[in-house]
Chain A
Amino acid sequence: MSTVSTRAPLRAEGSGDRPRPTGRRPRGVREKRWPAYVFLSPWMIGAVALTLVPMAVSLYLSLTDYNLFDPPRWVGLRNYGDLLGRDPRFWRSVGTTTLYAVVAVPLKLALALGVAMLLKNLAHRGRAFYRSAFYAPSLLGASMSIALVWRAMFNDGGSVPRLLESIGIHTGSWVGDPRLAMYVVVLLTVWQFGAPMVIFLAGLQQISPDLYEAAALDGAGRWRQFVSITVPMLSPVVFFNLVLEIINSFQVFTPAYAVSGGDGGPADATMFYTLYLYERGFVTSHMGYAAAMAWLLLAAIGVITLVLFRTSRSWVFYADEEGR
């Protein structure tokens, strides 16, 4: 989607995110404001009724004992205390989700970057073909069907354990093994590397070939060019992908549900955070407890995003800020 930059020559250059005064109108009539509220009304109703009020209510519920049928009973910070202090399953889910994020996100992004660099060197037609083909799993991967395929492929007698057995590695069923079950979800996530790859590829194509030419003239090898040109020029895109993938990785649900058979098993090995939240909120009807979990998730995502933004100053390079 291109940006069309034809602007009326008479006007001052707009700042971009502010609409300019609508200019000369007959008899200096001011633009009416009410139509804007008509356009906005669906969004405003949604923002208030389905976001702002529910946020406040969920914060309140997180301080109560609530089961959907009886009125909420105020318990103060007890839900939070119980979660953090005496719920080993909660910590298990935090551990599983964190391990998953720490393994899956770097793997997925590294693969995405590697393949994007490979595709960058292909001729236009080949590149377009592979770009689409590699992207397809990102659309399919979120579905229950594909999650079931993964469950079956890694289960007893599935193709993966059998393939490994044929080269002498005995794993048995991954799905039934508490040490391996989580990695089935990891591999399903990594399989969907196409989405960040497309973003990387777009970023790579923005880097001016002049930079590489100049570096080659100065005698820089391919590795040097990668470290000194590709990495800094691409760092904003890496940052963007990293934030996006981490936020998403904390919310993975469907594959965890499918691989675990819906209960986080075996031995809570695939009890991901959102799966535990679902179990407490909707299976055992501890909705106050689940609301507290949701707020802890928001807090964790907020803190991680903040830390990423803070550290980004030292490693993300924005070309247009240079020399300011």
Chain B
Amino acid sequence: MNIATKRWLPHMFAALSLLVLLYPLAWLLATSLKPADEVVTSLNLWPSRPEWSNYTTALDGVSGITVTQLLGNTVLIAVGAVVGNVLSCSLAAYAFARLRFRMRKVMFAFMVATLMLPHHVVLIPQYIIFNRLGMVDSYWPLILPKFLATEAFFVFLIVQFMRGLPRELEESARIDGCGPFRIYRSITLPLSRPALITTAIFTFIWTWNDFFTQMIYLFSPEKYTITLALSSFVDQSSTSAYGPMFAMSVISVLPIVLFFFVFQRYLVQGMATSGLKG
């Protein structure tokens, strides 16, 4: 094998695997543009003529709820979750990383242990609590827990980041008479921006992709998210509805794709340093 082949071989392998990997996404895009009669009959990936009306049908949404409203609902939940997680997790992380208090080690160990706790263990009692509070079929059960730092992943991520920050700025601020709140707000928080951005992006994507929690807590169609609307196609066996259904799928993954392109540096780095799941 000469040097040139040796250099190009890994590239070829990588490019080929990428093609296989991206095929399902190409399939999704192509099927969303196929006319109904081509979905099963034609072996071509690409439609003979793009059927844009699939998208106008998709925009009408499901059971009278338009896609605009579905997207609006989903954005509302996702933004609420992002604000909640960034605020509550950074507050807790600052205490764990920088302040002294009683039972600090016990609480930290507990927080780390909850990283491994399957959500199902607390699922039913949480459901009972929210049911008693009259919050079932509202967005509270999806947003409120985020304001209470229940996602230990992010607390841990921000703690790790804050521990790596130099203390000198905080020390000199303290000598100048700043209290912990001022230091948190004016020094630690701005310096922790990369960790906060990672938290925000992952919270957004996880909330956007979430299905289980949304399914058990939301019933009224007008409160549905885009994922819930899509899930109503799950037992759909006829292929005639494929076009509009996958047009809606494309619309629903678009924000994630957009996030990916804008924030890929934070996503991949957050992944590499903390082992966050996608």
Max count, chain B CB within 10 A of own CB: residue among A39, A244, A251: A39
A261 to B235 CA separation, bound complex (whole angstroms) = 5
B95 touches A47 (CB 8 A): no
Contact with A along B57-78 (1 / 0, CB 8 A): 0000000000000000000000
CB within 8 Å for A49 and B148 given contacts A61-B125, A139-B205, A140-B253: yes
Q: Which among B100, B164, B233 is the interface contact of A33 at CB below 8 angstroms?
A: B100
Interfacial chain B residues near A293, Cβ < 8 Å: 120
A247 contacts across to B, CB distance below 8 A: 116, 118
Encode contact with A along B125-138: 1 for CB under 8 Å, 0 otherwise: 11011010000000
- Residues from chain A with a CB closer than 8 A to the CB of B91 are 39-40, 42-43
With a CB–CB cut-off of 8 A, which chain A residues contact B271? 135, 138, 195, 198-199
Query: Would you give the 0/1 interface string for B1-21, flagging 1 where the beta carbon is closer than 8 Å to chain A?
Result: 000000000110110011001
Contact, CB under 8 Å: B31 / A1: no
Q: Tell me if B24 and A43 are in contact (CB < 8 A).
A: no
Bound complex: CA of A44 vs CA of B111, how far in Å? 10
- Identity of the chain A residue whose Cβ is nearest the Cβ of B161 in the assembled complex: A1
- A298 close to chain B: CB less than 8 A: yes
Instruction: Pick the residue among A50, A119, A157 that contacts B239 (CB under 8 A).
Output: A157
Q: How many residues of A contact B (CB 8 A)?
A: 107
Encoded as 1 (CB less than 8 Å from any A CB) or 0, chain B from 257 to 275 comes to: 1011000100111111101
Complex contact A295–B88 (CB within 8 A): no
Q: Are B28 and A35 in contact (CB under 8 A)?
A: no
Q: Does A132 count as interface, using CB distance less than 8 angstroms? A: yes
- Chain A residues within 8 Å of B49, by CB: none
B253: A residues at CB distance < 8 A: 140, 143, 145-146
Q: A19: CB under 8 A from chain B?
A: yes
Residues of chain A from 1 to 56 with CB closer than 8 A to chain B in the complex = 1-4, 6-8, 16-17, 19, 22-23, 25, 31, 33, 35-40, 42-47, 49-51, 53-55
Taking the nearest CB of chain A, how far is it from the CB of B28, in angstroms?
5
Whether, in the assembled complex, B107 has its beta carbon less than 8 Å from a beta carbon of chain A, the answer is yes
Chain A's interface: helix, strand, loop or mixed, by majority? helix
User: Is B272 in contact with A202, judged by CB distance below 8 angstroms?
Assistant: yes
Whether B92 lies near A42 (C-beta < 8 A) is yes
Contacts of A157 in B (CB 8 A): 39-40, 239
A159 neighbours in B (Cβ, 8 Å): 27, 45
- B17 CB, min distance to chain A CBs, angstroms: 7
A55 to chain B, nearest CB (A): 6
User: When each residue 107-149 of chain A gets 1 if its CB lies under 8 Å from chain B and 0 otherwise, what string results?
Assistant: 0000000010011011000100011111111111111111011
Closest 8 CB pairs of A and B: A46-B148, A138-B278, A54-B125, A145-B249, A43-B92, A36-B101, A54-B122, A39-B95
- Residue ranges of B at the interface with A (Cβ–Cβ < 8 Å): 10-11, 13-14, 17-18, 21-22, 24-25, 27-28, 31, 39-40, 43, 45, 87-89, 91-92, 94-95, 97-102, 107-108, 110-111, 114, 116-126, 128-129, 131, 145, 147-150, 155, 161, 163-168, 171, 174-175, 179-181, 184, 194-195, 205-206, 208-209, 211-212, 216, 227, 230-231, 233-235, 237, 239, 242, 245-246, 249-250, 252-253, 256-257, 259-260, 264, 267-273, 275, 277-278
Could you list 18 further interchain pairs (A-B, Cβ under 8 angstroms) beyond the known A148-B246, A153-B24? Answer: A1-B194, A1-B195, A3-B164, A19-B99, A40-B107, A50-B129, A51-B114, A54-B122, A54-B129, A122-B14, A137-B21, A149-B28, A149-B246, A151-B234, A199-B272, A258-B231, A262-B235, A298-B121
